[in-house]
Amino acid sequence: MSATSSVKSANPAPLGLLGFGMTTVLLNLHNAEIIGLSIVIIAMGLALGGAAQIVAGIAELRIGNTFGGTAFTAYGFFWWSLCLIWINPFKEVIPSADDTTMGFYLLLWGIFTLFMFFGALTHNRITQIVFLSLTVLFLLLAVGDFTGIHGIKIIAGYVGIFCGLSAMYSAVGQIVNGEFNKTIFPL
């Protein structure tokens, strides 16, 4: 006789959203010139922004969520690549990034994020807000690098703070709503 048990799968999205949101707020406090770039941002990018999102992304893929899996995994690796760009452990043989290369890097992420925003149109409003504000953030940062207009990067910083806080709200909303089995935080 075999016993069947039904195990409820945990929702990996809040972990990924917290990893994304908290790291995005921290980095954009720097972009808005509220704090300086330090090991705090790099460590957060490697651990919570990178590793936590990759773990959440793989968990999303395992439960069949292509959108969430792609988003969390891709943006987790974004954080790892950004930290590598800043640290550049290969600087003896590979030149560091300049404004033009960073502009193209950020532009490509902006284009990808725009496509993800279109996919988010089938999701809840807060997910749409996160992807739209992230698209604007990447495009502003790219334009700031391409033009050298420093004020654009500061504006991008404030957009990024909003984006990160939106992702954190989504994470907390999913956790609290799930715990109470009702809508406490509208999403």
pLDDT digits 0-9 by tens, 101-145? 999 999 999 999 999 999 999 999 999 999 999 999 999 999 999
The letter for the amino acid at 66 is T
Q: Tell which residue, 118, 109, 165, has the closest CA to residue 137.
A: 109
* Banded model confidence at residue 31, pLDDT cuts 50, 70, 90: very high
Q: What is the extent of the structural domain holding 129?
A: 13-177
Residue 47 lies in a domain: yes
**Does pLDDT of 17 surpass 60?**
yes
In a domain, 182, yes or no: no
Whether residue 6 lies inside any domain: the answer is no
- With tokens 């509208």, the residue in question is 186
How many structural domains are present in the chain?
1
pTM of the model: 0.94
Average pLDDT over residues 87-100: 94
Q: Considering the domain boundaries, does residue 7 fall inside one?
A: no
How confident is the model at residue 51, as a pLDDT?
98
**73-92: average pLDDT:** 96
CB 64 within 8 A of CB 80: no
Distances (CA, A) of 153 to 43, 138, 165: 22, 10, 18
Q: What is the pLDDT of residues 142-174, one digit of tens each?
A: 999 999 999 999 999 999 999 999 999 999 999
In this structure, is residue 1 part of a structural domain?
no
Q: Identify the three-state secondary structure at position 187.
A: coil
pLDDT in the model for residue 5: 60
CB atoms within 10 A of CB 97: 16
pLDDT at res. 145:
98
Task: Tell whether 160 is covered by a domain.
Answer: yes
Question: Does the pLDDT of residue 34 top 80, yes or no?
Answer: yes
**Residue 2: inside a domain:** no
Worst-scoring range by mean pLDDT, 4-13, 45-54, 159-168? 4-13
Give one word for 46, left, alpha or beta, with left for phi > 0 and alpha for psi -120 to 50: alpha
* Residue type (1 letter), 8: K
Q: Which helix (H) or strand (E) holds 40?
A: helix 39-44
> Residue 6: its pLDDT value, please?
72
Whether residue 98 lies inside any domain: the answer is yes
Return d(Cα 19, Cα 32) in angstroms, integer.
20
Tokens 């959203």, located at residue: 17
